[in-house]
Structure 1
Amino acid sequence: MKHLIFSILLLLMFKAEAQSSALAVADSLYIIGNYSKAINEYSKVGGLSAALQIARSYNAVGNYEKAITQYQYVVDEDVENQLAQFELGKLLLKVNRFEDAKSVFTNLSNLNTTNPEFQFYLGEVNRHLDATGASLKQYKKAIDLDSTHLRSLFQLAKHYTIKQERDNALTYILKGLNYYENDVSLINLHALVLFNDAQFEKAIPLFEHVLELGEDKNYVYEKLGISYNKNWEFKKAKEAYAILLKRDDTNSQIYFDLASVYQKESKLDSAKIFINKAMAVQKPIFANGYNQLAYIAREQKDFKNAFKLFERAHKEDTSDALIYYNIATTYDQFGTDLKKKLGYYENFLKDYPNQHPYYYETAKKRISELKEEIHFAKD
């Protein structure tokens, strides 16, 4: 009997050693990225640990359906296995199976209520499902569990920046930057909040810092160009736009913005050149170009030409109430026909009711004055 027990123990020991050896081989293949061979070796070993590694291997080679099947097997066999569920949930999110991912992360959040990552990913799932309120709630829960959770802070800051809720955005931006002052995403959001709030002088050094941190993107130069221009730093504005034009000389908006810089410097001939360049590459609407040329002509007291340019802009874009208002006021400045002046203002009120309240009230006042002038002219 003792010999039998000893033989059984010896057999089990040899089997465990063989299994351990096979697992070591499989692990060594997995570590160096030889995933297909690793899968074969793990299949020989068997067991939940090997199944989890097979799932990870399939995930690594991009065979997501087989990876999900393996993860699901592990989870079904061990419902308390949070690691397998976590990896499964992230994979389901990656392949856009949002409802399935939501089920996994909801379960994880219930299993472990103190893990901020589970709350964050549940927030991510809800964000993709357009359940904004639920996603914000989960991000806030993650921050309650870990006040330094940068990804949750970023998502909240981004949401409130897009909604232009300045104070809420700054609350989460500054919290995040307090923990990691060189987080380029949060610095970028900080700059955008100030930019949207017309605090261009304060936004400039933040956009510049974003560039220093390697975020060499066109939109940063675009915002910097506008900010420099608004802050009367014309040389820097031109430098920013020059960089953009080197990258893309077919973007009409860059030419328009550059023309605005020259116009602000009262270099009107240069402004015209860039407006014409913008119109040369603009497709298909030229309203913006004609409109800006009209403003320059009016600034040069060339009211008749300004009037013609505003009319051309209006033909390109009849939806813009301000363009038609400019037609009326420009003709009012040089025209002699009182009834024609009156007609333009009346058409403005008729075609663009309740748009631009200030201009609407100004037009009504001018109509009263013109009617009075016409009446006295008859007398």
Structure 2
Amino acid sequence: MRKLVLILFFISYCQTKAQTTAIADSLYATGNYAKAINKYAEEGSVKGALQIARAYNAIGNSEKAITQYRSVVEKNPDFQIASFELGKLLVKTKDYDAARKRFAKLVSETKDNPEYYFYLGEIYAEIDQPASSIIAYKNAIKNDSTHLRSLFKLAKYFVIKNDKNQALHYIEKGLNFYPDDVSLINLKALTHFNDNAYEEAIPFFERVLALGETKEYVYDKLAYCYYKNWEFEKARANYKKMLEIDDGNSDTYFKLAEAYRKDKVLDSAEIYINEAMNIQKPVFAQGYSSLGSMAREREDFKTALDFYKRAHAEDPSDPHLYHNICTLVDRNYKDLNLKLEYYEKYLEKYGKLRDRQALYYTTMVSKRISQLKEEIHLNAE
């Protein structure tokens, strides 16, 4: 009789516990996390303890969630799902040292799980250890050649490093499994773009747009590719798409103007430069410089010189603008001493600049100064 009572009590206990679990699971599934936590606490199982940690995480109480996860892992060191979720939460809360130790332990216990390596790679990237992050991402795809996020991270890293061959290696690996992945196709387009292979980049930027990634930067890159490929009408069409997204960006108007100017449609170019300058407050040097370039193409050198002087007044730090003034004075005035004065002022203002463009101009200006001095000397004789 006593044995029967114990059996009935045990059956009743199990039914009550199962009912408590079912209620807790239902509360959790419907987002009633506070009540779910109380029910799981009544249940007192390992699964219930894990669900309490998840519930705290779901309501945004990371501190209590981490404490609960740690309690579960300390009592059940082989419970990998709890350790994995704890590691991800440590990454989310930017406790990278603890997260690194957690995932290093997981990797040592289970060497064939690509997710563990991926998160280890993310942590190393966050703490600025790129070499270690690359090794971790490579281990991820070694264990799962289709691990898209690791393939993307590797490809992106090598795109940024301008390592075309390595970038394309991982991009192609990813596209073999995910041929319509927009992020990988975009990286492929950027790889060619960064390599100045604009014609090769065009179909991939077009593919990105066709897949619905109609972002301003995509139109911008594609337009520039068309521009460099002498397809000016297509370049203009894409710049105009950018203006449909943001008609208040003066840079887009300048680029559109340049696409017209390069195609010798100077009247339209001038319209868009003036539009860009109307948007800019205050007017910057770029607009005046572009107007100067077009006046120069029309051989209206007096107007060109006026525009370059205005541009230089807006941005006196740019040696290119003052060099344009010097060359126009040199071309259009007969007074050798006046020409020399402008070139010597160039050296005075910019002769100590060490960037490549400034050094080039300095070399040309110095050579022209020598020529002018020789001419002045010969004329004096």
| TM value normalised by structure 1 | 0.93
Structure 2: distance between partners of 1:102 and 1:280 = 53
Structure 1: distance between partners of 2:263 and 2:168 = 34
1:116 is matched with 114
Structure 1: distance between partners of 2:175 and 2:347 = 50
Equivalent AA in structure 2 for residue 203 of structure 1 = A
Asked if 1:182 corresponds to 2:175, the answer is no
What SS does the aligned partner of 1:87 have? helix
1:198 is matched with 196
Equivalent AA in structure 2 for residue 323 of structure 1 = L
Cα deviations across residues 114-142 of structure 1 (Å, max 9, x unaligned)? 21211110111121222222222221222
Deviation (angstroms), 1:362: 2.2
Deviation (angstroms), 1:222: 1.2
Q: Judge conservation of contact 1:303–1:331 (CA < 8 Å) in 2.
A: no
Structure 1: distance between partners of 2:351 and 2:164 = 32
Q: Judge conservation of contact 1:23–1:41 (CA < 8 Å) in 2.
A: yes
Deviation (angstroms), 1:275: 0.8
Deviation (angstroms), 1:72: 1.4
1:79 is matched with 77
Structure 1: distance between partners of 2:283 and 2:87 = 47
Structure 2: distance between partners of 1:378 and 1:298 = 32
Structure 2: distance between partners of 1:51 and 1:62 = 17
Cα deviations across residues 299-339 of structure 1 (Å, max 9, x unaligned)? 11122222222222222223322222222212111122212
Cα deviations across residues 261-312 of structure 1 (Å, max 9, x unaligned)? 1101111121111111111112446111111111111111122222222222
What SS does the aligned partner of 1:374 have? helix
Q: Judge conservation of contact 1:119–1:138 (CA < 8 Å) in 2.
A: yes
| TM value normalised by structure 2 | 0.93
Greater alpha carbon shift after TM alignment, 116-125 vs 318-327: 318-327
Q: Judge conservation of contact 1:241–1:254 (CA < 8 Å) in 2.
A: yes
Asked if 1:359 corresponds to 2:364, the answer is no
Greater alpha carbon shift after TM alignment, 199-208 vs 233-242: 233-242
Cα deviations across residues 32-56 of structure 1 (Å, max 9, x unaligned)? 4333332222121012210101111
Aligned length: 377
Q: Extract unaligned runs of 5+ from structure 1.
A: none
Q: Judge conservation of contact 1:321–1:352 (CA < 8 Å) in 2.
A: no
1:244 is matched with 242
Asked if 1:209 corresponds to 2:207, the answer is yes
Map 1:1-379 onto structure 2 (within 5 A): 3-284=1-282, 286-350=284-348, 351-353=350-352, 354-355=354-355, 356=357, 357-379=359-381
Deviation (angstroms), 1:365: 2.1
What SS does the aligned partner of 2:16 have? helix
Structure 2: distance between partners of 1:180 and 1:83 = 28
Equivalent AA in structure 1 for residue 184 of structure 2 = L
CA 1:313–1:181: 2 relative to 1, 3 Å: same
CA 1:320–1:136: 2 relative to 1, 3 Å: farther
Pairwise CA RMSD of aligned residues?
A: 1.9
What SS does the aligned partner of 1:62 have? coil
